Structure formats: C-alpha cells, structure tokens
Amino acid sequence: MAERSKSTLFLMEQLVVIAVFALCAAVCVFILAASFLMTTDSIATRNALLKAESVAESYKAFNGDAGSVSALLDTSSGRLSGQVSGNVMTIYYDENWQPTGDSPYFILRLESNVTGSTPLVSLADISVTRLNTGVELVNLTVGVRRAA
C-alpha cells in the first residue's frame, strides 16, 4: 500500500512539471508571435517612410509638379500603378513595395495645394496607408517655395 502512494505522488509531480513546461512554452510562443508582428509593422513603417521621403524630395526637385513626380516614380514597366487627377497623386504598392495596379496593399497619396492669394508656397501632404487595415503608416507635409 505504501508503494502505491509513492507512485501516485511521482505521477502528480510529473504532471505538475509537464504543466509548468507547457505554460512556459505557451508564453514563449506568444512572445515570439508578438515580436514577429512588431517586426513586420516596423519594416512596413520604415519602407513607407522611405517611399514618402522619396516622393517629398522629388516633389521639391520638380518644384511642386505632381505629374512629373508620378512619371518619375511609376516604374512598373508599362502597368499603371498610380494616377494623377488635379492636385492629387496616388501610387499603389504590393506587399513587397513594388508599384502595382493589380492587387494593391499600400497606397501612397500626395495632395498638393497652393496657399495664400499669391502662389508663392506650395504645400503637399504625403501619406502612406495600409489598405487592408486602413492604418496610416506615415504622414508628411512638404513645402516648395515658388519663384515670384
């Protein structure tokens, strides 16, 4: 009878050890998944910032001409990856940040407006948004001083 209680105690101890290891494994998997999501978001934000800065510098170089900026950045080899209508330029990107028109994942939007009664300063708002969630990753404002 004493032998039976020792084996029951041993089995209970083993079950507790297995439960502790399972709990530790679950916590580690949760932390790993959270770090993967944070890394993915960080990469998307970094790439969005690079694209927005590129558009901002191009906008300054072309003195506020959104059509020239769109023609420069549309490198999708013949496929339409963006559009310009009036003072708004949009460029669509896939998950790998390549310009696309088929199944966009990110959208870069440049909206320019001339301020004041004399068009001496042209301001543009540049935003990059993830389409599936609607989360805005980057929002920049750039200004160009025009010749009088």
Q: Name the pTM for this structure.
A: 0.74
b/e sequence 40-63, b meaning 16+ C-beta within 10 Å:
eeeebeebbeebbeebbebbbebe
User: So what's the pLDDT on residue 77?
Assistant: 45
d(CA 146, CA 148): 6
Q: What is the pLDDT of residues 33-75, one digit of tens each?
A: 999 999 999 999 999 999 999 889 988 888 877 777 777 766 4
Q: What is the percentage of the chain residues whose pLDDT exceeds 90?
A: 42
**What parts of the chain have a pLDDT lower than 70?**
1-4, 73-81, 114-119, 147-148
User: So what's the pLDDT on residue 76?
Assistant: 45
